[in-house]
């Protein structure tokens, strides 16, 4: 009975989705535009969230210089790690109130942006824990003015309603999903991605590809979300290998940022799927990078779906230009999956995750299904037992 109930829930969401308070962040291209908005909004004190690595690289110094020149006060919070935790958000909350900040700037990859958005939720609801805000529409209040400045081209977090956080007590990675968390402004500066190591460039790009593919394959896609996903896939296939080989190619970097943005818009409205549901527990349990895990799982999951996705995947392959051969849906879908595998090989991404501990697999599967169901409108609905089998395949125990 669970599967019909899942589909009913997804159908209800599809009906009410147009009535929800969707918005896209206003796109900015320069720091000057950011300071003009702060001035117009009469903001004088800004709280900047980033991580230690970005702080060492001084990538944010151009932003700080612009804020200083315009007489804004600011403070930075850099106690953010990959797969950020509840305790990090709570520390940020104390620092935010101590500084008496009026606006938040998330600066970095997915982790700083997740902390910035989760911080916004805690400022909006000071008497409710992050754990109680997990799930759908549990914030429901206006957050502080929020800017997102991505330094990678992959997570799409600058466009989405989700903040993904780890509960360090249970090792569960979960999402807070609320329209209030969509940043008000997204500043895309492709030069910020120049210093990324090639492997990070590759895995964050594959993360964006996963967002676009899952959003497109899910039930309930609209012309708007499908067009965004198709454009993201097109840009990724045209530009990701280029930026991997030519790190300072500005045009390709800008195209990848646009791809990540479009993929983010697509999946924030039509969700991701089992690739992400399987990926999040692996990051939480073993500290594995999210984009790397997604890239590795994506072709495995597409093959697992099998004939259920051939028609849609072939259409995506053709409309994005990833595959031009006119052939059966089955053949085109297989060619598309093969191209993903070829990219993974080129980028040095493996085919199995040996860190998975056999005794953890039942818990991993339970967490994955708790995330996916009932809301992810995936092409196929799986039981915990089936997800355990897929984890064994990811581990390399099942061929």
Residue 41's CB: how many other CB atoms inside 10 A?
12
Per-position b or e across 14-34, b if 16+ CB within 10 A of its CB: eeeeeeeeeeebeebeebeeb
Short-list 204, 192, 187, CA closest to 58? 192
DSSP string for residues in 89-154: HHHHHHHHHHHT-SEEEEEESHHHHHHHHHHHHHHH-TTS-HHHH-EES---SPPPEEEEEESSSS
> Which residues have C-beta within 8 Å of that of residue 55, sequence separation ≥ 6?
76, 78
Question: What pTM value is reported for the model?
Answer: 0.93
State the Cα–Cα distance between residues 332 and 354, nearest whole angstrom.
Answer: 31
Domains annotated for the chain, with CATH where assigned, are 21-187 (3.40.50.1970), 196-395 (1.20.1090.10)
Q: Residue 1: its pLDDT value, please?
A: 46
Residues 6+ apart with CB under 8 A from 58: none
Own/partner long-range contacts of 1-5 (Cβ < 8 Å, ≥24 apart)? 2/373, 2/381, 3/381, 5/374
Give phi and psi for 261, each to the nearest 5.
Answer: -65, -50
Q: Which residues pair with 174 in a beta bridge?
A: 165
Long-range CB pairs of 9-14, under 8 A, 24+ apart, other chains included: 9/374, 9/375, 10/219, 10/220, 10/374, 10/375, 10/377, 13/220, 13/375, 13/377, 14/219, 14/220, 14/377
pLDDT of res. 153: 95
Count Cβ atoms below 10 Å from residue 56 Cβ, excluding itself.
9
pLDDT at position 17, please?
A: 87
Tell the burial category of 75 from Cβ atoms under 10 Å away from its Cβ (0-12, 13-18, 19+): middle
Distance CA 300, CA 389 (A): 12
Average pLDDT of adjacent 10-residue blocks, the chain of 399 residues: 81 87 92 97 97 93 97 97 95 98 96 97 96 91 96 94 92 91 96 93 97 97 97 98 96 97 95 97 94 98 98 98 97 98 97 96 96 94 96 90
**Which pLDDT score, from 0 to 100, does residue 399 have?**
64
């Amino acid at each position: 009975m669970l599967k019909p109930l899942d589909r009913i829930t997804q159908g209800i969401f599809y009906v009410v989705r147009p009535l929800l308070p969707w918005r896209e962040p206003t796109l900015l291209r320069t720091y000057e535009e950011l300071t003009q908005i702060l001035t117009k909004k009469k903001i004088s004190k800004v709280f900047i969230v980033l991580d230690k690595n970005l702080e060492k690289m001084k990538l944010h110094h151009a932003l700080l210089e612009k804020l200083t020149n315009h007489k804004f006060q600011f403070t930075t919070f850099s106690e953010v790690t990959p797969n950020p935790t509840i305790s990090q958000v709570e520390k940020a909350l104390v620092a935010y109130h101590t500084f008496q900040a009026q606006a938040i700037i998330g600066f970095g990859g997915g982790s700083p942006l997740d902390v910035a958005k989760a911080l916004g939720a805690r400022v909006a609801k000071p008497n409710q824990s992050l754990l109680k805000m997990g799930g759908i529409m549990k914030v429901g209040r206006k957050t502080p003015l929020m800017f997102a400045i991505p330094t990678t081209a992959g997570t799409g977090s600058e466009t989405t309603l989700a903040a993904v956080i780890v509960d360090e007590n249970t090792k569960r990675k979960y999402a807070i999903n609320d329209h209030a968390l969509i940043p008000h402004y997204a500043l895309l500066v492709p030069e910020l991605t120049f210093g990324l190591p090639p492997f990070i460039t590759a895995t964050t790009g594959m993360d964006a590809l996963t967002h676009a593919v899952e959003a497109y394959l899910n039930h309930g896609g609209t012309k708007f979300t499908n067009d965004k996903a198709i454009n993201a896939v097109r840009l990724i296939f045209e530009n990701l290998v280029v930026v991997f080989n030519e790190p300072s190619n500005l045009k390709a970097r800008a195209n990848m940022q646009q791809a990540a943005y479009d993929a983010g818009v697509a999946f924030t409205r039509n969700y991701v799927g089992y690739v992400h549901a399987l990926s999040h527990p692996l990051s939480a349990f073993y500290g594995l990078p999210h984009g790397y895990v997604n890239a590795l799982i994506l072709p495995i999951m597409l093959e697992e779906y099998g004939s259920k996705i051939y028609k849609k995947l072939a259409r995506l392959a053709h409309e994005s230009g990833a595959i031009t051969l006119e052939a059966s849906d089955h053949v085109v879908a297989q060619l598309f999956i093969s191209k993903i595998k070829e990219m993974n090989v080129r980028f040095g991404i493996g085919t199995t995750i040996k860190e998975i501990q056999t005794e953890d697999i039942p818990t991993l599967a339970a967490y994955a299904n708790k995330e996916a169901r009932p809301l992810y409108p995936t092409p196929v609905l799986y039981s915990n037992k089936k997800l355990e089998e897929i984890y064994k395949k990811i581990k390399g125990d099942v061929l």
